[in-house]
Chains A and B, each alone.
Chain A
Amino acid sequence: MSNFKLVGNKVPRHDAWAKAKGEQLYSDDYVMPNMLYGKVLRSKYAAAILRKVDTSKAKALPGVAAVLTAEDVPLNEDITKFGQMRDVGGGFEGLYKVLAHGKIRSKSEPIALVAAETEEIALEALKLIEVDYEVTEGVFDPREALKEGAYVVSSEDQANLIMETKVEKGNLEAVWEECDLIVENDYCTSPHDHAYLETEGGMAWLDENGIITLRVGTQVLEHYRTIAKVLKRHHNQVRNMSIPMGGGFGGKEDITVETYLALLTVATRRPVKMVWSREESLEAHAKRHPEYLHYKTGVTKDGKILAQQASIVMDGGAYTYLTPWVQMYSTINGTGPYRIENQECVSRSAFTNNTFSSANRGFGATQVNFAYERQMDEIAAKLNMNPYELRLKNVLKNGDSLSTGFIPEGHIALTELLQALREKMEKTPKPERLPDGRKVGRGIAIGQMSYGRLCFLHDSSRVAIRVELDGSVTLRAGVPDLGGGQASVLAQICGEELGLPIEDVHPFIMDTHLTPLAGTTTATRQLYMSGNACLVATRYVKDILAKKAATLLSCQPHELTFYDRKIFYTNDPQRSLPFVTVVGHVSNDGELLFHEGQFNAPFSEVPDLTNIKGRILPDMTYTAHGVELAVDEETGQYELLRIVAAVDCGKAVNRNSCEGQMEGGAIYNQGWVMEDLAWDKGITRNNSFATYLIPTALDAPEIETVLLESGGGLGPYGAKGVGEPADNDICPAIINALRDAIGVSFFNTLIKPQDILKKLKG
């Protein structure tokens, strides 16, 4: 493992210069001749009955090419799919409604689509559509929604309950009495936007064969199947291409503009472009599930956790989308990365008339991470115990089972991570105050988050490798690139195996007609899944090359090394052939240097949701974060002074990307503490970046990243995924640090200076 040329280094990504120089095109940069502009009319009310939509005035406006409502959609209702290759059933796939009819479930629910010659005309046409609403009361808190007699959000389902799940271990009731201390708290997490710079958008057109062709920013190319179903076409009549995205973070996992664009382009037989405004994006696309969590933990006086019970109510918002899957993550991670013999986590999710909730970096693991790590510091304070010691005493170790009884194959590095974090954080003693008088606080948190999708989705990925006659390589994979280097890392793995520099490998990605289906760029799965598929494909052609080279160099294939565009006899590097020469020989033999490699994740069946057991996810990544901050006690403002972000990434395949994910994740999670959508009865009051305040460069502290490389992951070279695990711990660590600084506790994620000042004033 020590002879890596590309793997493990800070390899510049293949697309780095294009991005740095502004040459990379995003969804809004594309135009086509004869193109129309598409816009969506959205509901004015969060809860209403849609009585009638009159589009006649809009249709009569010069320059309007099409106005569509639910009646114009060939199949207006389908089930929500997220790229999985099988129908899972069991309540996991909810209703996907293209355009509204019946009950309006949220403000911004789409009612009609317009395509017009200019963006201005399209907007004008929206104003001319007359909608007759019967406004209803609505329900906006999932706890209220689950009460008997609550307003029913949907006209298709009879109740607001989406799903109920439970995981348990040991015998809670028998243990409470043995505990020296029982700590019970209620926590609450706020909705959170993905806040990518590039809003949802793309374009669609019919090609010369009448194929519906799309180029949209999406994390899930496999939505082409839903587009085909909605348009009542065969799957092979839709070609879906993505573009390198300006961020996804889960927000482009659900279908966004795809069906709207396909409907409008089919209706007008012209190319159509649609890009959502920031307001539209903030109001209409999914948010991280707000959760209401109750924790009860029993410990001995020396800090051993004997029992922990968590119960969660999740706000699913207006439609199901990914709620059941997110709920699985919240449920099985509910009690945290701790060895607790007696534990239980019960979750219920409910419809409300809020913007729908769905995937957001961390996918349900983040909400419980906030709660269990706040709970740990509350316990530590009550026991007068050091927060590191309390965690070290209880963390999972190799051989321990997770909440579902499953014992992970991958390494569990929590002890090492906590020790590394402590070393960094305590390198200098904590000052009581800064010279300006501000109080200093330090806080930590640890996290557990999976990489790879739920095992009952039967996830797979494919990557194709073709060696060209000049020795360069074309790598093809249906991998959407969100900016996380998802494509570049595949080129790096391929180059490493074949002994080629990264620039010799061209990754051609994300086109359902041309690239093998590699699955979604979600669930921190691409390095794990497509990285492994890339290894399969590359090693297949490498074997062919090695056999030929062995003949030419009079040795055995396993005695060869691929390095520096050469293949040589390992024990005598003088005996070598240029890579391209061996390629020429193989080609002369009439053999194609091509392979499509496949990698399958471990498969399982849908578990019993009332008692979840077994392998639910392939493996876990573990993190430990520390925060140092200063609080201004006169104004309630606080400043992050430093962050230490530690992760066991198994193997840092691209060190730059790994550090980038850890830094980005830290600031993303920092934002959760300050970002406020200001939901008010289903209305998003803060619907622009002038009011929905995310951290800026001036708000980000120095971040020190610690990459532990245990080699104990299931990805290529023992790597684990880090994209979502990076978005754990900081929020609870900040709030734990506030407690350390000024001695006040917060039980919700959103904290403003005014909240801090109020608590300080008592």
Chain B
Amino acid sequence: MKNFNYVKAPDVRGALAFLDREGDKACVVAGGTNVMVDIRAGKMNDLTLVGISDIAALRGIQEEDGKICVGALTTISELAASTLLAKQAPALYMAAKVFADAVTRNSATIGGNIAYASPAADTAPALLALKADVLIESEGGKRRVPIAEFFTGVNKTLLQAGELITALEFIPNPYSAFFKIGLRNAMAISVATAACAVKLAANGVIEDCAVALGSVAPKPLRAYEAEKILIGRKLDDDTVKAALEAVGAAISPIDDTRATGEYRREVAPVLVKRALLKASGICVHESCKDGEGRIQHG
């Protein structure tokens, strides 16, 4: 199993130097909840792991200048314990609450969840709905990528060799929500997820919105056509129905050991509907009220 090197970065500058030096051979490791599993399975070989878990500057949730900035090393447990997120970004809070299990949440980080780019990453749809930016640094400088452009495929992102995710940044939106279907209530990789964020005018017309889904395509994605249908209209039955049809057109779910593509196609719109209603403050489903994005298990 020990077919890797390990270096520990003392600070961001040190991490960037290691990443620059090792190039393609480098793999950033924070919580290690994906990396160690892949090494054991023989999927990652002869890499230099750059341990960043001691870099305090990359950890924490801050609200500044009307934006929330979540350090890449912030653990999922910290997201799930954040009263700021519970109020100002419920989608991300709800996703964190149902992420894996308590032990994994204590190790796993938001940056790692995004960088690993699993189609089933639970924080991804929440961050997509919140239209977050991914803040990236390298020896060459800093850049900022909208998360909707960040994912390029299964475990693939725009991140280049030598680059490190330092934070996720977004404008707070109390009108956001996330729901997940897993095959049990903890330690379950998502079968399907959805997150929505809305901005409602006083008359109930949707001024802006974002609809995002996970586990139903090679990468977490936004359902732009559904958003277009919703914007400028009230959240009535016909509008919801039309938007959900557009959701169906946006996704391309596959069969795997967790569920069939057909099932995902059935439930993805249900999750979007519930997330939309919850985000808009219209709660039709009791399970919405506990502030957790889990629908009962099967």
Contact = CB atoms under 8 A, between A and B. Distances in A.
Contact of A676 (B186, B191, B257, B270): B257
Interface in B280-297: 284-287, 295-297
Nearest to B284: A437
B186 A697 contact: yes
Nearest to A632: B296
A653 B86 CA distance: 50
A197 interface: no
B259 A754 contact: yes
B296 A639 contact: yes
Contacts of B262: 754, 758
A754 B191 CA distance: 10
Contacts of A18: none
Nearest to B289: A436
A511 to B, nearest CB: 34
A678 interface: yes
Interface in B221-273: 257-260, 262-263, 266-267, 270
Given A635-B295, A638-B298, A678-B257, A753 B285 contact: no
A20 interface: no
Interface in A606-638: 630, 632, 634-638
Nearest to A277: B40
Which secondary structure characterizes the binding site on chain A?
loop
Which bucket holds chain B's interface residue count?
Answer: 20 to 34
Contact of B1 (A120, A639, A686, A753): A120
Nearest to A436: B286
Given A434-B286, A752-B259, A635 B267 contact: yes
B286 A753 contact: no
Contacts of B263: 636, 753-754, 757-758
A209 interface: no
B135 interface: no
A699 interface: yes
A756 B184 contact: no
A752 B298 contact: yes
Contacts of B270: 634-635
Given A693-B184, A698-B186, A757 B296 contact: no
Contacts of A686: 257
A608 B23 CA distance: 73
A690 interface: yes
B214 to A, nearest CB: 15
Contacts of A689: 187
A513 B101 CA distance: 44
Contact of B184 (A434, A436, A674, A761): A674
B183 interface: yes
A711 interface: no
Contacts of B297: 637-639, 698-699
A695 B184 CA distance: 7
Contacts of A676: 257
Contacts of A691: 257-258
Contacts of B298: 635-638, 674, 752-753, 756
Interface in B15-58: 37
A754 B185 contact: no
B188 interface: yes
Which secondary structure characterizes the binding site on chain B?
loop
Contact of A436 (B2, B101, B287): B287
Interface string A429-457: 00000111110000000000000000000
B167 to A, nearest CB: 29
B189 interface: yes
Interface string B160-195: 000000000000000000000101111111010000
Contacts of A169: none
Contacts of A674: 183-184, 298
A33 B184 CA distance: 43
A698 B184 contact: yes
Contacts of B296: 438, 630, 632, 637-639
B260 A437 contact: no
Which one of A119, A636, A674, A754 has the greatest number of beta carbons of chain B within 10 Å?
A754
A704 to B, nearest CB: 20
A592 B270 CA distance: 76
B267 A757 contact: yes
A634 B184 contact: no
Contacts of B181: 635, 637, 753
Contacts of A638: 296-298
A753 B270 CA distance: 14
Interface in A414-435: 434-435
A686 B267 CA distance: 23
B255 to A, nearest CB: 10
Contacts of B257: 676, 678, 685-686, 691
A696 B1 contact: no
A696 B266 contact: no
B78 to A, nearest CB: 21
B68 to A, nearest CB: 29
Contacts of B286: 434-437
Nearest to A760: B266
A695 B284 CA distance: 28
Contacts of A120: 1-2
A59 B164 CA distance: 44
Interface string A671-683: 0001010100000
Contacts of B185: 696, 698-699
Interface string A380-403: 000000000000000000000000
A472 B172 CA distance: 69
A433 to B, nearest CB: 10
A686 B257 CA distance: 7
Interface string B94-109: 0000000100000000
Contact of B187 (A119, A696, A758, A761): A696
B266 A757 contact: yes
A689 B286 CA distance: 31
A485 B189 CA distance: 35
A634 B186 contact: no
Nearest to B262: A754
Contact of A761 (B2, B260, B266, B287): B266
A63 to B, nearest CB: 14
Interface in B87-146: 101
Contacts of A437: 284-286
B267 A693 contact: no
Nearest to A692: B257
A433 B124 CA distance: 34
B189 A754 contact: no
A639 B286 CA distance: 14
Nearest to A635: B267
A678 B183 CA distance: 14
Nearest to B288: A436
A630 B258 CA distance: 21
13 contacts: A437-B284, A437-B285, A438-B296, A632-B295, A636-B263, A637-B295, A676-B257, A696-B187, A752-B298, A753-B183, A753-B259, A753-B267, A761-B266
Given A689-B187, A699-B297, 13 more contacts: A123-B1, A435-B286, A437-B286, A634-B270, A636-B298, A638-B297, A693-B184, A693-B188, A695-B184, A696-B185, A753-B191, A754-B262, A756-B298
Nearest first, the 9 A-B pairs at minimum CB distance are A436-B286, A753-B298, A754-B263, A698-B185, A639-B296, A637-B298, A696-B186, A698-B186, A634-B270
